Amino acid sequence: MTFSITAHDPQSKARTGTLTTDHGPIQTPIFMPVGTAGTVKAVHQRELETDINAEIILGNTYHLYLRPGLDVLGQAGGLHAFNGWRRPILTDSGGYQVYSLSNTRKIKEEGVTFKSHIDGSNHRFTPEGVMDIQRTIGADIIMAFDECTPYPCEYEYARKSMEMTHRWLDRCIGRFDETEGHYGYQQTLFPIVQGSTYPDLRRQSAEFIASKEREGNAIGGLAVGEPAEEMYSTIELVNSILPVDKPRYLMGVGTPANILEAISLGVDMFDCVMPTRNARHGLLFTTEGIMNMKNERWSRDFSPIDPGLGGYASTFYTKAYLRHLFKADELLSGQIASLHNLTFYLWLVRQARAHIAAGDFVAWKNGIIPKLMQRL
């Protein structure tokens, strides 16, 4: 994998770049649609490529390991061959889902034992095991096994957890570097900065992660309930330590405003369930603001969903029709809304890239955030 920076914004830390993987290039800053179980919910691979123009999608180790399982994925020839997605994939390590989804879990130095949220069966994730699993899934970018601390988090817990995440990272690197990808293309391992909202811990973690000199780095443990300002100051601190010439991935973030602010602090990659999950509940992000499609207000609005956005779903269907589909509980409602919201998120990062290249990113960001975040 290579990363080259193509432009710097003169007024902020924002930059554009190109990340090149064996499954093709990714223009940064980028938003990665979440495809937890090997599918971006309610969206076809063809729509992801042609309508949304997603350059990379996410998968989750926790879900894919439990279902369909490694036998099936290995026999299929990895996740790319299994789901037909030809572009890059990143898999999260399970270091988040195992805490948020599994019923009972025990975290120990060796690893985490947990019960499946699907059938209650017992499993164990270790740093080494999670590297092996992600080798079998075969994503281009794989994540280190970490503990994502909750918010708020006692200082002593955050410190001990961060130190364990660091020891786990050394074990991940040990296993990753002594193994190879199974399917004839390169994989790369990103470590994850933790440390809750404590500046001294975040500094220590960022220094430790930077010292590993991997091809890219991630910031975890944020957007877990802390105030936005605390998230931004943490990102600013961590990015002042992580190497400037490597991609930085902010995990699980966020709203359009969060993404633009983090881009201005030098973040290059994002993922979040927000556009797809909100879509299935009728909440749309548009170039005019946020719309709840279940509102009576849209019942006779026969204008396109978001003509300013372009793209199939946003220009072909009307607000009134989409509202009807939601009220009638029709499956197509979630499909149209997901396609629209992802088109919006990919539009947002494309706009950001264009404004960074043009040198007016900060003025554009400050002007557009209030509009994008207003409730219509």
Known catalytic residues?
92, 271
Q: Are 143 and 90 in contact (CB under 8 A)?
A: yes
Kindly tell me which of 93 and 204 has the beta carbon lying closer to ligand GUN: 93
Q: How far is the CB of 45 from ligand GUN (least distance, A)?
A: 23
Residue 144: CB atoms within 10 Å? 29
What is the helix (H) or strand (E) element at residue 80, kind and residue range?
A: helix 79-83
Q: Which stretch binds ligand GUN (CB under 6 A): 33-41, 143-151, 200-208, 331-339?
A: 143-151
Cα torsion angle, 247, 251, 256, 257, sign: negative
Q: How far is the CB of 323 from ligand GUN (least distance, A)?
A: 32
Among 95, 254, 266, 334, binds ligand GUN (CB under 6 A): 95
Cα torsion angle, 222, 225, 226, 228, sign: positive
Residue 114 binds ligand GUN, judged by CB under 6 A? no
Which string of x and - marks every residue 236-255 that binds ligand GUN (by CB under 6 A)? ---------------xx---
Kindly tell me which of 47 and 261 has the beta carbon lying closer to ligand GUN: 261
Q: How far is the CB of 341 from ligand GUN (least distance, A)?
A: 19
The tokens for 137 are 């899934």
Reference 218, options 186, 187, 195; nearest CA is: 195
Residue 275 binds ligand GUN, judged by CB under 6 A? no
Cα torsion angle, 328, 329, 330, 336, sign: positive
Q: Which residues are annotated as a binding site for substrate?
A: 92-96, 146, 194, 221
Q: Are 142 and 190 in contact (CB under 8 A)?
A: yes
Which string of x and - marks every residue 207-226 that binds ligand GUN (by CB under 6 A)? -------------xx-----
Q: Are 293 and 337 in contact (CB under 8 A)?
A: yes
Q: Which amino acid is at 169?
A: L
- Binding residues (CB under 6 A) for ligand GUN: these are 92-93, 95-96, 143, 146, 148, 192, 220-221, 251-252
